[in-house]
A and B are shown apart, each in its own frame.
Chain A
């Protein structure tokens, strides 16, 4: 269990992010066309997982645009935006904001991903959705970088995440 804050008040996550050096947990998430995808769907690529509470909130929107812009410079990487938003909301967001370089993935079927990656919030007003976090995974599905953003309203450390993706 990890502690973060929301507007300064402490809230807690279900577990801990996967450790650097460990094998990234497999997952099953849902893409914009309601298909199930897993870690293996992105085999051979580096993966940047940007885990956000909701694309319908300002900070998540900002960070998604930022990773979308950066994507062109990382041809061997895929930017995965993971949230509890439904695929319909994610699709609407990407169409409205022109973020065609990222892949949005939804927890619409279950919160198993959030539990396995230790980001499920277990108390406070945002119980049931996720903390804000970055996990960078190499071509062999090893975790090479992680960040749990300490205050949920703040943006992640882009520099550190993109450096790990090089």
Chain B
């Protein structure tokens, strides 16, 4: 269980992020075309997982823009933006904002990903959604970097995540 803040109010997650050096848990999430995808679908690439509570909120939108810019010249990296938004909302967001360099993935079918990655919020008004977290995985899905944002309404720390992808 991890402690985070939502507008200053303590909130808790179901578990902890996977540890640096460990193997990232596999997952089943839903892509924009409603197909199921897993870690194996991005085989051979480095992965930056940006876990956000909703793309329809300002901070998540800002971080997705930032990661989209980063991904533009990095063919070796795939940026996966994971949220509880339905794929329909994710697609609307990406089209509206001109975001084309990230892959959005939805927890529309269940919250198993959130449980396995320790980011499911169990209390506060956001219970049922996720904490904000950034993970970097290498080509073999080993965790190189993992950070949970201490305050849900604050943008993640970009530089350490980018440094882990050097």
Interface residues of A (CB under 8 A from B): 30, 34-35, 54, 56-57, 84-86, 88-89, 92, 108-110, 125-129
Residue in contact with A84 in the complex, picked from B108, B125, B127, B129, CB distance below 8 Å: B108
Point out the residues of chain B lying under 8 angstroms from A109, CB to CB.
127-128
Give Cα A125 to B126, complex, Å: 26
Q: List 28 A-B contacts (CB under 8 A).
A: A30-B128, A34-B125, A54-B86, A54-B89, A56-B91, A56-B92, A57-B88, A85-B85, A85-B86, A86-B54, A86-B56, A86-B84, A86-B85, A86-B86, A88-B54, A89-B54, A89-B56, A89-B89, A108-B128, A109-B127, A109-B128, A110-B128, A125-B34, A125-B35, A126-B34, A127-B109, A128-B109, A129-B108
| Chain B minimum-CB-distance residue to A124 | B34
Give Cα A88 to B126, complex, Å: 11
Point out the residues of chain A lying under 8 angstroms from B89, CB to CB.
54, 56, 85-86, 88-89
Give Cα A129 to B84, complex, Å: 12
| Chain B minimum-CB-distance residue to A83 | B86
Point out the residues of chain B lying under 8 angstroms from A108, CB to CB.
84, 128-129
Point out the residues of chain B lying under 8 angstroms from A129, CB to CB.
86, 108
Is A88 a contact partner of B57 (Cβ separation < 8 A)?
yes
Is A89 a contact partner of B57 (Cβ separation < 8 A)?
no
Is A92 a contact partner of B56 (Cβ separation < 8 A)?
yes
B97 CB–A CB distance under 8 Å = no
Residues of B within 8 A of A (CB-CB), count: 21
Give Cα A41 to B92, complex, Å: 32
Residue in contact with B108 in the complex, picked from A30, A88, A128, CB distance below 8 Å: A128
Asked, given contacts A54-B86, A125-B35, whether A88 binds B56 with beta carbons under 8 Å apart, the answer is yes
Give Cα A129 to B107, complex, Å: 11
B110 CB–A CB distance under 8 Å = yes
Point out the residues of chain B lying under 8 angstroms from A56, CB to CB.
86, 88-89, 91-92
Point out the residues of chain A lying under 8 angstroms from B129, CB to CB.
86, 108
Give Cα A138 to B111, complex, Å: 34
Point out the residues of chain A lying under 8 angstroms from B92, CB to CB.
56
Among B35, B56, B110, find the residue whose CB has the most chain A CB atoms closer than 10 A: B56
How far in angstroms is the closest Cβ of chain A from B141? Answer: 25
